[in-house]
């Protein structure tokens, strides 16, 4: 958290660096997007270390507090914490590579006189390839900073 002239800026830049070091990914190539477009994450591929996968997913869930741009893709890999496969591990690593390239991102809460509550919603009715359930999302802003957001299956 950093107080600046016109408000407060919250980010996890330092934590991203610590997590990349913990998973030995500091020198990995950066990713321009948090996931590959159109990638279906089904139950296929070889098994991965469950403890290591859960640790990485826990780290990613922690970032959601200030990084709503990764919320949806983190929710995708979070669904496979009981039986993670190599595809889920690679998808999680890509999210971390994206977070490394965008670690300066965060939320700015500005001191303005005219606060306005604005909400956005979206639904993905096609559902996942695994269970055909739909996904709904929302975000609410008070002024220019997000105050609440979610992605629900």
Structure tokens given for 11 = 């980010």
At 149 the pLDDT is 79
Task: Quote the percentage of the chain above a pLDDT of 90.
Answer: 27
**Rounded to a whole number, what is the distance in angstroms from the first to the last CA of the chain?**
31
Query: For 151, left (φ over 0), alpha (ψ -120 to 50), or beta?
Result: beta
* pLDDT tens by residue, 110-138: 777 667 888 999 887 766 666 777 878 88
What is the pTM (predicted TM-score) of this model? 0.75
Alpha helices in 4-152 (DSSP H): 13-22, 50-63, 71-78, 86-101
Structure tokens given for 114 = 């005219």
Sheet of 117-124: strand order equals 117-124, 135-142, 145-152
């Amino acid at each position: 958290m950093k107080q600046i002239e016109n408000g407060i800026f919250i980010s996890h830049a330092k934590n991203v660096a610590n997590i990349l070091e913990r998973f030995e990914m500091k020198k990995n190539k950066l990713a321009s997007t948090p996931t590959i477009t159109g990638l279906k994450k089904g139950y296929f591929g070889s098994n991965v270390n469950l403890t290591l996968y859960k640790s990485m997913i826990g780290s990613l869930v922690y970032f959601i507090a200030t990084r709503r741009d990764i919320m949806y893709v983190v929710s995708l890999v979070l669904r496979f914490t009981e039986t993670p496969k190599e595809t889920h591990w690679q998808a999680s690593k890509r999210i971390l590579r994206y977070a490394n390239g965008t670690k300066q991102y965060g939320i700015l809460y500005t001191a303005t006189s005219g606060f306005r509550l604005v909400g956005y919603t979206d639904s993905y009715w096609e559902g996942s390839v695994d269970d055909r359930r739909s996904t709904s999302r929302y975000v609410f802003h008070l002024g220019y900073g997000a105050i609440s957001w979610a992605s629900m299956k």
